[in-house]
Amino acid sequence: MTNYQLVYDYKDNQKYRESFNELAKLVFDLDFRQWYEKGCWNDQYICYSYMDGEKIIANASISKMTVIVNGKEYKAIQVGTVMTHPDHRNKGLARKLMDAIIDKYEKQYKFIYLFANETVLDFYPKFGFSRVQESRYFLNAVGLKRKSNGTAVRKLDVENLNDFSLLKLYAKERIPTSSILGVKDNESLLMFYFLIAFPHSIYFIEEEDVIVLFEKKDKELHIFDIVSRCKIDIADVLSYITSPDIKRIIFHFIPDCKYAESEIIEVEDDVLFIRPMINFGTKQPLFPLTSHS
């Protein structure tokens, strides 16, 4: 470890930023450049990294946010972008970064959480994290009311300055879509989803004053997020984007919709871990997809 230097909170250091991005491209095939060059990397997202010489070779980031559970607000942090260069693995770097993050934040925040893939499911319990089974929420689309005027839905272009300004405004001022389990104060992370994850799936419904991230796949409509600055009626929003060929609507968050059904997600990827365990008040928790870091 004598050759490794711990660096953190370096969003304004171009050299460190670019080295972090190179590691993310190598490990996850993720390119953060557009996100930070457009000014979306703010104080909510902090990297903790080890350097070998001039290069970032291991990282674990934290995202600060407010999590709403049954109407109550909790300060929480999410750990993400945990990665190590292949040449420096099996040296305990990720473990040391996790220890440093827990030591710094566990007394300041109600809980720490993260999402893990199948290769590291045995890693996080060593730090006191407990696995939480999430659910999937869906709705039978047959019989839903539909608006006939398709021009009311406008696709947004992240390269258009006016559209980009609209996205930043709504990301900053959004209220949680779900009162059961929702997230706010995560503008930086939401902008990542707008710019990197779903740049071609963003739509604005002016009459409802909402931004909707959605895609149609076969006969299913996948709603990744509904971003609004005021309380919405999901049925009204859906009426603009459903079509006769859609049989089922999949929500990637818990919708405030009494007709929605749920089922357990039987996957070993993107598994939720929390430290310490909290009471979600529901047997079917689901963190919004656009809050995953």
What's the mean per-residue pLDDT of the chain?
93
Structure confidence at residue 2 (pLDDT): 55
pLDDT at 143 over 80: no
* Banded model confidence at residue 148, pLDDT cuts 50, 70, 90: low
Structure confidence at residue 149 (pLDDT): 58
pLDDT at 268 over 80: no
pLDDT at 157 over 90: yes
Structure confidence at residue 160 (pLDDT): 97
CA neighbours within 13 Å on the CB side: how many for 224? 21
Structure confidence at residue 258 (pLDDT): 81
Name the residue with higher pLDDT: 267 or 135.
Answer: 135
The predicted model gives 15-28 an average pLDDT of 97
The Cα-based distances of 239 to 118, 147, 148, 244 in angstroms read 37, 5, 9, 11
pLDDT digit string (tens) for 87-136?
999 999 999 999 999 999 999 999 999 999 888 889 999 999 999 999 99
Q: Name every residue whose Cβ is closer than 8 Å to that of residue 214 and which is 6 or more positions away in sequence.
A: 201, 203, 221, 222, 223, 224, 241
Report the percent of the chain where pLDDT is more than 90: 81
Name the residue with higher pLDDT: 267 or 83.
Answer: 83
pTM over 0.75: yes
CA proximity to 252, closest of 168, 189, 181:
181
pLDDT digit string (tens) for 218-248?
999 999 999 999 999 998 999 999 988 999 9
pLDDT digit string (tens) for 240-260?
999 889 999 999 999 988 889
3-class SS letters over the chain:
CCCEEEEECCCCCHHHHHHHHHHHHHHHCCCCHHHHHCCCCCCCEEEEEEEECCEEEEEEEEEEEEEEECCEEEEEEEEEEEEECHHHCCCCHHHHHHHHHHHHHCCCCCEEEEEECHHHCCCHHHHCCEEECCEEEEEECCCCCCCCCHHHEEECCCCCHHHHHHHHHHHHHCECCCCCEEEECCHHHHHHHHHHHCCCCEEEECCCCEEEEEEEECCEEEEEEEEECCCCCHHHHHHHHCCCCCCEEEECCCCCCCCCEEEECCCCCCEEEEECCCCCCCCCCCCCHHHCC
C-alpha 201: how far from its chain's center? 16
Residue with tokens 């199948």: 118
Residue with tokens 């991230």: 213
Q: Which domains does the chain have, with CATH numbers?
A: 4-135+265-291 (3.40.630.30), 137-264 (3.40.630)
Structure confidence at residue 208 (pLDDT): 92
* Banded model confidence at residue 151, pLDDT cuts 50, 70, 90: low
User: Taking every pair of C-alpha atoms in the chain, what is the biggest distance, in angstroms?
Assistant: 66
The predicted model gives 11-24 an average pLDDT of 97
Structure confidence at residue 71 (pLDDT): 87
Name the residue with higher pLDDT: 284 or 78.
Answer: 78
The Cα-based distances of 101 to 92, 108, 117 in angstroms read 14, 11, 20
